[in-house]
Structure 1
Amino acid sequence: MLRALGRTEAVLAAVLLVAMAVLIFVGGVARMVRHPLNWTTDFATCFFAWAAFLAADVAWRRDSLLSIDVIAGRLEAPARRWLRLVNLVLICFFLIYVIWAGTRLAILSSARSFQGIPWISYSWVTMSLPVGATLLLLTTGTKIVALLREARSDDPSEGRRG
């Protein structure tokens, strides 16, 4: 199921980025022929917000985010695992806060129209924050579970029980 979610996220992020580029191009051409379409930039901004959070989760899921291992690289494997676990737990706390604050922001902005378009709520943009953070939290949780399983399988006392 998580693999299907990852593929769906990647496809949706790519579609949103392509749609964003197309909207910006169409808006530029329309402006050039003296028929500006101001809404194209607004929708491109909305698509960018969603694509950014989806792509962040895709990169996090694939371990493709930038990391600096100056300290961790010098530690023994058990200490390195503990440091990684502490980092992942801190990330979880941060993401939980982002979910809470982003949901609150989306609720507060529900009455606001998106860039003056009365039939679209600004919440469609702000919901990208808690939705993206929820996906990142799910990915972080799977990383914690995998790390704990790895630590358990490497534990030499595990085989001596019995």
Structure 2
Amino acid sequence: MRKIENIFSVLTGISLAVVFIVTFGQVIQRYVFQLPMPWATDVIRIFFVYSIFLGMGVGVFKKAHLNIDVLVQVFPSWAKPWFDLLSNVVVSIFLSFVLYFSIPFIKANADQVTPYLLFPMSYIYMIIPIAVSFMVLFLFLDTAKLLVTLFGRDKFTNSGSR
């Protein structure tokens, strides 16, 4: 998973760099040379959407998603894994709904294209199920690891034989 996290981080950085460079170029082109770059809006939209969902993946991989730190710090240290488990379950349920509804969303936008580049919108939105699938997989693996630490490896490996 570390390699996938690194790939997501690099792709997020590249996406944000493209957004910055194209936006900067568009501003210079428009206000200095008085020439619009209509295709820039499409490029910015595409890479902004990709940076959002790839960045979400990085946030989930690094466990930097929404957390109630004040509440967690009030309770004893033995309760922290339980809050992590609850957080993983809640985020997994939410992402499962996002994944479930992303497929019909892509199909509904299959006939739409970007205004200037004529790039299919379904290709742009394809990042949603891809990124969310990796996030759900990571949360599943992290939840399994949490369960092993909470209940001990013996309860999962010994099938009741003593």
The TM tier, using the shorter chain, reads 0.7 to 0.9
Task: Tell me the amino acid that sits aligned with residue 3 of structure 1.
Answer: R
- Pick the structure with more strand per residue: 1
Q: Report % sequence identity.
A: 21
In structure 2, list runs of 5 or more residues that go unmatched.
Answer: none
**Residue 27 (structure 1) aligns with:** 26
Task: Give the match for residue 112 of structure 1.
Answer: 112
Q: Does 1:39 align with 2:39?
A: yes
1-structure distance, mates of 2:146, 2:138: 12
User: RMSD between aligned alpha carbons?
Assistant: 2.6
State the alpha-carbon separation in 2 of the partners of residues 81 and 100 from structure 1.
Answer: 28
1:93 matched to which residue of 2? 93
How far does residue 41 in structure 1 lie from its aligned partner after superposition? Answer: 2.1
How many correspondences in the alignment? 158
Question: Which structure 1 residue ranges, 4+ long, deviate > 6 Å from structure 2?
Answer: none
- 2:128 corresponds to: 129
Q: State the alpha-carbon separation in 1 of the partners of residues 143 and 70 from structure 2.
A: 21
Q: TM-score, normalised by structure 2?
A: 0.83
Q: Which residue of 2 aligns with 1:152?
A: 151
C-alpha distance in structure 1 between counterparts of 2:7 and 2:38, whole Å: 30
8 Å Cα contact 2:18-2:47 kept in structure 1: yes
Match of 1:141 in 2: 140
What does residue 55 of structure 2 align with? Answer: 55
Which letter maps to 1:62? K
